[in-house]
Structure 1
Amino acid sequence: MRSAPLPGSSLPHAVFFDMDGLLVDSEPVHAAAYVVAFERAGLALHPDEYRTHVTLGGGSIRDLYAAKGGSAAGWPELFECKCELFAKQVREEMELLPGVSELLQALADRGIPCLLATGSGRANATVILERFGLRPYFAAVLSGEDVSRAKPDPEIFLKAASLIGASPAGCVSLEDSPKGVRAATGAGISCIAVPTSWTRTGDFTGAALVVHSLQQVTPLLLEEIVHKHLARS
């Protein structure tokens, strides 16, 4: 595992990437898969419910399932069904969002560690990373199963920074959702928000910058963000 640049360096100590909505436009695919899985379990779920409760609100899909009368015994089968549907869509139809490959390569060329910090499950992360050959770009991969508290809690970012011995103030996070921005800033990490059509109506207060695409994000921009953050610290 690559360690972070020396504390005196002007480079970011590390860059943390979200996955759903940042690397791939997968939030609507998650929602669609859950809609089908809920239907097969005899329950109704609208994509907007998923978007409001989970994507924007940071709530748990399992809590939403329980609120609709789903039984604890029925959850494993429903979740397995959803994961199979999601993986099929990833392998057959999903594409990387613009700028992902270029930014990861530019950071790798400069020796800046990248870590994946996703609230999604490990199986979802694995299928996406394998589908697009992205795993070698990440010094570490943290999923929702690696923490006890989901975003907007900062736990996943604090754990990621600790893994490579990086100071949170010297890191930058890239997120597409308000809950991700809150999690990063709660850990003392500067965050660039890259909203999608699924999240752009959210409140991105606290983000150091809001951009339309990762194509606008460069190593120089990340360095400037870190420099400004450290100057205020």
Structure 2
Amino acid sequence: MKLKAVLFDMDGVIVDTEPLHRKAYFHMFDEVNIEVSEPLFESFTGQSTINVCRRVVDQFGLNETPEYLVSLKRKHYKYLFDHGELDLIEGVFDRIQDFYNNGLTLVVASSASMPGINLIFERFNLNPYFSAKFSGADLKESKPHPEIFLKAAAHTGFDKSECMVIEDSTNGIKAANAANIFCVGYKSVNSKNQDYDNADYVISDFSEIAYAKHKDFFKS
């Protein structure tokens, strides 16, 4: 595997925004008077907000449009983002710097909206390390469809066999598999009921994929 590019998911991989997103979604569900079960909510993980809202509108027969639900959810998320505590996932910034300093091309490929991605990147000064940012909200298909990873890999200019995806969700891992790109599954203490069986390599700490540890493998 001649590793030349790393495609990072964002939520749950770079930053732990999942609790904020969860709270924002459930505030939105309350506003439109629906009760979403835990299994249904867990099935949303890794999907873009607009696709989640389309599913909710269809499943609950709502009169509101998906776009209106998106606006409600984003309103709550923005408030929580501005008023809550938020940190990068432990060890991920060291790995970003490590990969960058070893000449790898870094791209973020997230289901989050581009404004949401930019909020995180500006807050933690990540822009200097990444060559591009892709938002699933701007694409036709959502994870587990491979579109976002295919576009992100194509942007790097390298072959898919020279790219690696880092994902934390079932849908993200399925998307990487469908794109035929090597996938590292990040299984954190915050991961809930996600399936890592189809990841090519599973980690629970970012030190496990330090460039120096896998230098020979990455360059073979």
TM-score (norm 1): 0.83
**Ranges in structure 2 where 5+ consecutive residues have no aligned partner:** none
Counting only pairs closer than 5 Å after superposition, residues 21-32 of structure 1 correspond to structure 2 as: 21-32=12-23
1:44 aligns with 2:35: yes
1:154 aligns with 2:146: yes
Residue 64 of structure 1 aligns to a residue whose secondary structure is: helix
* 1:142 maps to which of 113, 119, 134: 134
* 1:211 maps to which of 196, 203, 216: 203
1:81 aligns with 2:72: yes
CA offset digits 1:147-194 (Å, max 9, x no partner): 211111111111111112110111111000121111112212111100
Match of 1:102 in 2: 94
Residue 191 of structure 2 aligns to a residue whose secondary structure is: coil
Verify the 8 A CA contact 1:173 1:192 in the aligned structure 2. Answer: yes
1:120 aligns with 2:112: yes
Q: Please report how far the alpha carbon of residue 56 of structure 1 lies from its aligned counterpart in structure 2 after TM superposition.
A: 7.1
Amino acid at match of 1:37: M
CA offset digits 1:8-56 (Å, max 9, x no partner): xx751200000111111222321210111121223233555312x2017
Pair 153,95 (structure 1): closer, same or farther in 2 beyond 3 Å: same
RMSD, aligned CA: 2.4
Structure 1 residue runs of 4 or more that deviate by more than 4 Å after TM superposition? 56-59, 221-228
Amino acid at match of 1:27: E
- Percentage of identical aligned residues: 29
Distance in 1, matches of 2:119 and 2:46, equals 23
Pair 61,94 (structure 1): closer, same or farther in 2 beyond 3 Å: same
Distance in 2, matches of 1:204 and 1:115, equals 22
Residue 106 of structure 1 aligns to a residue whose secondary structure is: helix
**Ranges in structure 1 where 5+ consecutive residues have no aligned partner:** 1-9, 229-233
Distance in 1, matches of 2:80 and 2:128, equals 23
TM-score (norm 2): 0.87
Q: Please report how far the alpha carbon of residue 90 of structure 1 lies from its aligned counterpart in structure 2 after TM superposition.
A: 2.7
Distance in 2, matches of 1:48 and 1:129, equals 31
Q: Please report how far the alpha carbon of residue 214 of structure 1 lies from its aligned counterpart in structure 2 after TM superposition.
A: 1.9
Verify the 8 A CA contact 1:50 1:61 in the aligned structure 2. Answer: no
Pair 93,186 (structure 1): closer, same or farther in 2 beyond 3 Å: same
Pair 202,65 (structure 1): closer, same or farther in 2 beyond 3 Å: same
Distance in 2, matches of 1:145 and 1:66, equals 19
